[in-house]
């Protein structure tokens, strides 16, 4: 019985050491280390130009969530306003890399707590996501005016037509299923 207790104590200490090292590796033991780790991860993701379906995203998404949920709250109080702005700028940049142009829709998802945290903190530090997007576009020498709005209008018309076709197909599928259900 004594050996079992010692074994459990040893495993508990081993587990605590592992989890604290895991957090320390991501979050770092200092604010500057934390910010460097975060910026490096976002830069790495940007440099890799991964497709949204790439399996590597699972690992990056877990790290990103840990940075937002665990690390940032630990250092927020000691961060300057500029550091907070940079952190949330990089968070939106990560979403841009992760979700492409769909990042705006993702940030608007009211059922996603992580997205809502990013939106909330971005509003707090930048005044809104639109300010961050403008800043990101400025960094690459663009403005929203650089986009060909006619292309977007054409794209939205095509999407609308596709959605209408999908709707008709779904309606037919449901009617067919309903008819089969009546026959049985």
The predicted pLDDT at position 100 comes to 84
Domain range summary for the chain, segments of one domain joined by +: 31-147, 149-178
Across the range 128-142, mean pLDDT stands at 79
Return d(Cα 103, Cα 62) in angstroms, integer.
Answer: 17
What is the secondary structure of 75-105 as a DSSP string?
A: HGGG--HHHHHHHHHHHHHHHHHHHGGGHHH
Report helix, strand or coil for 113: helix
Mean pLDDT on 20-37: 75
Question: What is the C-alpha radius of gyration for the chain, rounded to an integer number of angstroms?
Answer: 23
Residues 94-116 have pLDDT tens digits of: 998 998 878 888 888 889 999 99
pLDDT at 4 over 90: no
Torsions phi, psi of 49, nearest 5?
A: 50, 55
- pLDDT recorded at residue 128: 82
Q: Is the model more confident about 152 or about 37? A: 37
Contact 45/57 with Cβ under 8 angstroms?
no
Work out the pLDDT band at 14, boundaries 50, 70, 90: very low
End-to-end Cα spacing for the chain: 63
Q: How confident is the model at residue 21 (pLDDT cuts 50, 70, 90)?
A: very low
d(CA 35, CA 95): 17
Instruction: State whether residue 45 is helix, strand or coil.
Output: helix
Check residue 9 and give its pLDDT: 45
Residue pointed to by tokens 């990103």? 64
- Residue 85 phi/psi, 5-degree rounding, is -60, -45
Condensed to tens digits (0 to 9), the pLDDT of residues 57-68 reads: 999 999 999 999
């Amino acid at each position: 019985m004594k050996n079992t207790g010692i074994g459990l104590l040893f495993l508990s200490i081993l587990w605590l050491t592992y989890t604290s090292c895991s957090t320390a590796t991501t979050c770092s033991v200092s604010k500057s280390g934390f910010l460097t780790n975060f910026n490096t991860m976002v830069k790495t993701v940007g440099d890799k130009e991964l497709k949204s379906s790439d399996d590597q995203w699972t690992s990056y998404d877990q790290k990103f969530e840990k940075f937002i949920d665990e690390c940032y709250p630990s250092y927020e109080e000691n961060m300057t306003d500029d550091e907070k702005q940079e952190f949330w700028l990089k968070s939106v940049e990560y979403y841009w890399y992760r979700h492409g142009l769909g990042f705006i829709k993702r940030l608007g998802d009211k059922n996603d707590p992580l997205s809502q945290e990013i939106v909330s903190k971005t509003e707090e530090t930048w005044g809104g996501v639109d300010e961050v997007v403008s800043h990101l576009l400025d960094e690459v020498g663009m403005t929203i005016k650089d986009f060909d709005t006619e292309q977007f209008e054409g794209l939205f018309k095509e999407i609308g037509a596709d959605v209408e076709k999908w709707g008709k197909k779904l309606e037919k599928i449901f009617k067919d299923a309903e008819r089969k259900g009546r026959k049985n």
